[in-house]
Amino acid sequence: MFVIAGALFAAGQSDVSQDRRDLHQDHRDLRQDHRDLNHDRVDRNRDIRDIHHDQADIAKDRRELHHDERTGNTAGAARERADIAHDRRDLHKDHRDLHADRRDIHEDRHDIRHDRRDVRYDRRDLHHDHHD
């Protein structure tokens, strides 16, 4: 009888120990998801800043292109066309990066919701096992 009681007690302690490890891991996952989310937000803000900078560069290059075309400066106009093409490539790259950052932010938020749920369940299990 004592052997069975001891075995049940040990099994219960093992469950509590496992629940504590699960809870600890879920908290660690949650912290990492928050770090990822913050990193993605910084990247998104940097991409938005870069997009505004590229748009301003394109507008400036267009003004200079029109000036060079009006004054007959064909070499200057060719340089401005090349600058505009370069800035457009940068702009498209920044838009792709921004899209990827928004997708990553969405996925990080999903991971956070999932990990919070895991924390709640593991806390409940730990509380339940502790009172059994």
74-116, pLDDT tens digit by residue? 999 999 999 999 999 999 999 999 998 888 888 888 887 777 7
State the angle between helix axes of 74-131 and 2-71 in degrees (0 to 180), rounded to the nearest 10: 170
Gyration radius (Cα) of the chain, Å: 29
Hunting for tokens 């457009």 — which residue is that? 88
* Neighbour-count burial of 104, counting CB atoms closer than 10 A to its CB (0-12 exposed, 13-18 middle, 19+ buried): middle
- pTM beyond 0.85: no
Quote the Cα angle for 7-125-36, to 5°. 130
Domains of the chain listed by start with CATH number: 2-131 (1.10.287.620)
Taking residue 13's Cβ as centre, other Cβ atoms within 10 Å add up to 11
Least confident stretch, 19-28, 37-46, 66-75, 123-132: 123-132
Report the greatest alpha carbon distance in the chain: 104
* Neighbour-count burial of 54, counting CB atoms closer than 10 A to its CB (0-12 exposed, 13-18 middle, 19+ buried): buried
For residue 129, pLDDT beyond 70:
no
Question: What confidence score (pLDDT) does residue 78 get?
Answer: 97
Nearest to 94 by CA among 61, 55, 63: 55
What is the rounded distance in angstroms from the CA atom of residue 55 to the CA atom of residue 92? 11
Quote the Cα angle for 130-5-12, to 5°. 30
Question: What confidence score (pLDDT) does residue 8 get?
Answer: 46
